[in-house]
Structure 1
Amino acid sequence: MDLVLPTLAPARSQESAAARIERELRGRIIDLSIKPGERLSEAEIAERFQVSRQPVREAFIALMRAGLVDVQPQRGTVVVKLSVRRMLDARFIREAIELAIVRRACEHFDRHYLDRMRKLIDEQMLAVDRNDKEGFLHLDNMFHIALADGAGCSAAWAAVEMQKAHMDRVCALTLHSPGRSEVVVDQHIAIVDAVEAGDAERAVAAMSHHLNEILRAVAGVEITYSDLFE
């Protein structure tokens, strides 16, 4: 396996080796730098991170619990293929939580986070111009984190984070469709505008439309990238 980790992010304060490896691999699995069906080599990853095999095993266990890797006879640890069923389950949970978050945001929202969300949208536009899909996905996640933080719902977003990896992997594929990134940016603008106006009905409708975007796109990507789906 040729592990695609060109530049390792700096370790976070108090972060264990296992947590760092799990975070890095999770990110690469979600943005599809590590492809569905690809085998992960314990020895290669240990060498890449300059650690023993034990923290790599711990990272694999965490990824297996998240449903992102599986242990297969004769192959070892393998990245699971994309699953429409798992994506739909994750979207259902995310919609229930995030509609409540955006409704709360319309009742009270920290102005600092509104400014941050608009800045993140500007950065997403730049990522589109650079065709930086990985950066775009990261900024997308930061946008939704800022929304939850501004609404005082950080704990609720943590619950979303535990479920949304399967949705994020399919979203990464949809960004290969022409104009898809621009659609996401426009939807983010609509969400921020509604929150700033304190219009809960419009904000909920904008968020629902945004989260349903994947339903409109999944059939096409499942056909185009059928080898990546189970």
Structure 2
Amino acid sequence: MNFELLVNNSFESKKDYIYRVIRKNIIDFNLKPGEAISENEIANTFETSRTPIRETFTKLANEELIEIYPQKGTFVSLIDIKRSQEAKFMRVNLEMEIMKLACTEFPDEILFQLESNINQQEFCIMKKNYITIFDLDNEMHELIYKGCKKERIWSAIRFISGDYDRIRTLRLSSNPDWDTIIEDHKAIIKSIKEKNVDQGLNIIKEHLTQIDNDVILLKEKYPEYFK
């Protein structure tokens, strides 16, 4: 089992840390769709009992990122395009409303964080580090929700976005049109700074639906990953 550990944040519990690590390994394809994952092996990796592992598995199963079969085992779920489309529908429609708010009023301190985030993304392009770009991409969008005081909405979107995020990861790793993505991100931030609602709505809709063009090709390239 190819498994990458993350830095353990001092504020998070053991259970929360285990969940965050396993989820990220699924999204990053260190744990691949269809792959069996062992409760005992993961418990040994984290030097913990099986109880927090079972709790984490239940949480991930609720997000449909894993499937648990009694007497058979636990497996990373295959990517379901229908679930991905549902997540995209929710995110596009909610994020357009978020952009309306962001382009009306947005705190300077969060805007500074967005601009810092873009600088980090550009550095990652130089290093061809698509995994970190993906993380920074999510962080950028989360900051916009935070600036609009809608963090709970971001959490709700994240809960159903496992398949959507895995397709995004595949897209970045297979055909990284990073320059276009960065330019979109810059345009989104520019719209917020200039309070240009129409521009912001056009960009965010196009940005979040670009994935539609790649799904068929990705399914042909990685048929074993999809339902």
CA distance in 1, matches of 2:120, 2:72: 40
- Name the counterpart of 1:118: 115
- Name the counterpart of 2:6: 8
Distance change >3 Å, CA 12–CA 215, structure 1 → 2:
farther
Pair 1:218-2:218 in alignment: no
CA distance in 1, matches of 2:54, 2:183: 41
CA distance in 2, matches of 1:115, 1:17: 32
CA distance in 1, matches of 2:105, 2:159: 26
- Name the counterpart of 1:50: 47
Pair 1:142-2:120 in alignment: no
- Name the counterpart of 2:182: 185
Displacement of 1:74 in angstroms is 5.9
Q: 1:28 aligns with which of 25, 28, 40?
A: 25
CA distance in 1, matches of 2:74, 2:9: 24
Displacement of 1:18 in angstroms is 2.3
Cα RMSD (Å): 1.4
Taking structure 2 as the reference length, the TM-score comes to: 0.95
Greater Cα shift, 156-165 or 101-110 = 156-165
CA distance in 2, matches of 1:128, 1:228: 26
Amino acid in structure 2 at the alignment position of 1:79: V
Conservation of the 8 A alpha-carbon contact between 1:31 and 1:137: no
Pair 1:109-2:106 in alignment: yes
Q: 1:172 aligns with which of 152, 169, 173?
A: 169
Displacement of 1:75 in angstroms is 4.0
Cα-to-partner distance string for 1:159-212 (whole Å, 9 max, x where unaligned)? 212222221100000012344222211111111111111011110111001110
Displacement of 1:155 in angstroms is 2.2
Unmatched segments (≥5 aa) in structure 2: none
Unmatched segments (≥5 aa) in structure 1: none
Aligned residue pairs total 227
Amino acid in structure 1 at the alignment position of 2:7: A
Taking structure 1 as the reference length, the TM-score comes to: 0.94
Conservation of the 8 A alpha-carbon contact between 1:36 and 1:228: yes
Cα-to-partner distance string for 1:47-75 (whole Å, 9 max, x where unaligned)? 10010011101100000011000023664
Displacement of 1:30 in angstroms is 0.9
Pair 1:198-2:195 in alignment: yes
SS of 1:162 mapped into structure 2:
helix
Q: How does 1:64-75 map to 2 (within 5 A)?
A: 64-72=61-69, 75=72
Distance change >3 Å, CA 152–CA 175, structure 1 → 2:
same
Pair 1:18-2:18 in alignment: no
Cα-to-partner distance string for 1:97-152 (whole Å, 9 max, x where unaligned)? 11111110011001122221121111111112212121111101110011111122
Conservation of the 8 A alpha-carbon contact between 1:39 and 1:78: yes
Pair 1:80-2:74 in alignment: no
Give identity over the alignment, percent: 29
Conservation of the 8 A alpha-carbon contact between 1:40 and 1:78: yes
CA distance in 2, matches of 1:112, 1:227: 44
Distance change >3 Å, CA 24–CA 103, structure 1 → 2:
same
Displacement of 1:3 in angstroms is 3.8
